[in-house]
Amino acid sequence: MTITINAPADTMPFTIAPVANRIGAEIIGLDIARPLPKATARALWKALCRYKVLFFRGANLDDMEHDAFARALGEPVGHPTVGNGPGTLAHVLELDSVYGANTNSWHTDVTFVPAYPSASILRAVTVPDHGGDTVWANTATAYDDLPVPLRALADQLRVLHTNLFDYAIAPAMTSDDAQYARVASTPYRTEHPLVRIHPDTGERTLVLGHFVQKIVDVGSADSIRLFRIFQDYITRLENTVRWRWQAGDVAIWDNRATQHYAINDYGDARRVMRRITLAGDLPVGVDGRRSNARDIAA
């Protein structure tokens, strides 16, 4: 079922076509290369909070249009450790498979810092003939799926995230990978609530993914067990949406309520994406405690 947004005269109308039941919708009839009226931007943000990931087929943005679209929705911020591609704006992150920039593990962007991005806006520059899809998962419905005793446990837990990784939990990279060297060039360590309150919707969402090092005050072996229990709820297939990229496509996701996985199934073909992230707020747990930076040596 599609939903047409009946916009006032000073806005740009568009249609929302859900892609999957729990997450994801394609936005049809909206040219995001044009400046967005404030009312349209607000309507898009509302749709983003509802559907978690929005897709724009064939938007064909350049760097400046990508930047303008991002600024209509929030404040662009650069990646804290990874340098950007040649010729891009300072906060445009280029992900080029030539340099091993494949994020083929489940994660939420940049959770190793306290106020991690609220949203990410990704556009496809070069895509392989086959493969290279991205999958997103809804961390709010994952929380809702938890049995009541597991929800009560999750509400109490705090989790350490770091860009140095804990390979026992997330063996996505190894220390001799070029991408690892870039991401870990400046070490960060942050304590988040395992469950955060979404600032726009009030939903409870799970804060996990491959930047998790351990659960606070829980031993390593039990941390791994608990991580896998909660993470498995996030990545259940019925909780996900998959997008087959075409050159020029754009996707924006609510980074406070999703994880994603870029599938590395395209061999030696080249895949180039460019991403802008928007500034986020400090997560707040069910008990009212906020995320906080931790000493990397602690």
SS3 55: strand
Of the residues 66, 107, 158, 256, only one is catalytic, namely: 107
Strand 250-254 vs strand 53-56: parallel, antiparallel, or unpaired?
antiparallel
**CB neighbours of 221 closer than 8 A, spacing ≥ 6?**
none
**CB neighbours of 251 closer than 8 A, spacing ≥ 6?**
53, 54, 55, 56, 121, 122, 123, 134, 243
Concerning whether 210 is annotated as a catalytic residue, the answer is: no
Closest CA to 213 of 191, 196, 231, 234: 191
- Give me 190's structure tokens: 């942050």
Concerning whether 198 is annotated as a catalytic residue, the answer is: no
Of the residues 22, 66, 67, 109, only one is catalytic, namely: 109
Concerning whether 109 is annotated as a catalytic residue, the answer is: yes
Read off the amino acid at residue 264.
N
Extended beta strands in the chain, E state = 3-5, 14-18, 25-28, 53-56, 76-77, 93-96, 119-126, 134-138, 158-162, 189-193, 195-197, 204-206, 212-215, 240-243, 250-254, 258-262, 272-278, 292-293
Q: How many CB atoms lie within 10 A of CB 220?
A: 13
- Interatomic CA distance for residues 47 and 109, integer angstroms: 20
- Give me 236's structure tokens: 């259940």
Concerning whether 130 is annotated as a catalytic residue, the answer is: no
CA dist list (Å): 244 to 63, 100, 102, 156, 262:
22, 20, 16, 38, 11
- Interatomic CA distance for residues 168 and 298, integer angstroms: 19
Among all residues, which ones are annotated catalytic?
107, 109, 260, 275
